[in-house]
Amino acid sequence: SEIELKELEQQKAAILNAIPDMIFVMDKKGVYKDYVAGIDIQQKISPEQFLGKKITEVKPYEVAKKHLRALQKAIASGNMQILGYQQEVDGETGYFEARISPVDDNHAVVVVRDVTQRENDRKALLKTNENLKLYFKAMDESPVSIVITDRKAKIQYVNHQFTKITGYRQEEVIGQNPRMLKSGSQDSAFYQNLWKTILSGKTWIGEFHNKKKNGELFWEKASINPIYNQKNEITHFVGVKEDITQ
């Protein structure tokens, strides 16, 4: 009925308006034949800018060449082609992904998605990973002993200076509790105060009388700080210690 057709048209319009992609129909010469996009994109791009024009008239030459090669390959092979490219948009570099699916011997549907945010996030993650590598390298080569534990006091990381001072190899202490270094000369009240301080979110500063793997006793000046996650919950502790044995 007419009412049902109208409802179907409304549903179709709602679906198309929600589409985050730009959808084009192109012939194998690279001419834009049709265009569908969500309402947000429609407000930014006018069909008059490209409909009936060749891609070389619309996009930068190198980008257009890549599109044409992928378009013609898709039509000739009958297989979808995926193309990633970057293009200046409003003075800034945008990143896009085009999926080109053949329709017949002369046409293909090209679905273009703006992946700028995804690409920027990927680059930011790579940069963060690079910074973390530098950070851990700096910690590992630090002249002071560094220990990181989880909230339950299981050792997650020790640096080179820790192994040099204590005589324990890294693999011997990972997963262990730092109490393995206790000499027995400091009572339970000492450690209770330590834990009360760091679990309250404060920095503990003091001295340990510890024992090396070979049984030798030594003194360390230490500071222990809590590490928080994004929910402001304490997840780890980092201890920085210096051998002050005279």
Check if the beta carbon of residue 186 is closer than 8 Å to that of residue 158. no
> Integer distance in angstroms from the first to the last C-alpha of the chain?
96
pLDDT at 2: 66
**The overall pTM is greater than 0.75:** no
Three-state SS across 112-164? EEECHHHHHHHHHHHHHHHHHHHHHHHHHCCCCEEEEEECCCCEEEECHHHHH
The mean pLDDT of 38-52, rounded to a whole number, is: 64
Mean pLDDT of the chain: 88
Burial class (CB in 10 A: 0-12, 13-18, 19+), 67: buried
- Given pLDDT bands bounded at 50, 70 and 90, which one contains residue 43? very low
Position with higher pLDDT, 50 vs 157: 157
pLDDT at 223: 96
| Kind of pairing between the strands at 204-211 and 155-158 | unpaired
pLDDT at 206: 96
pLDDT at 158: 95
71 pLDDT above the threshold of 70: yes
pLDDT at 41: 52
Q: How far is CA 230 from CA 109, 194, 224, 227, 234, in A?
A: 43, 24, 20, 10, 10
Check if the beta carbon of residue 155 is closer than 8 Å to that of residue 173. yes
- Given pLDDT bands bounded at 50, 70 and 90, which one contains residue 48? confident
Three-class SS state of 102: strand
197 — phi, psi (to 5°)? -70, -50
Identity (one letter) of the amino acid at 92? E
pLDDT at 47: 66
| H/E run at residue 89 | strand 81-89
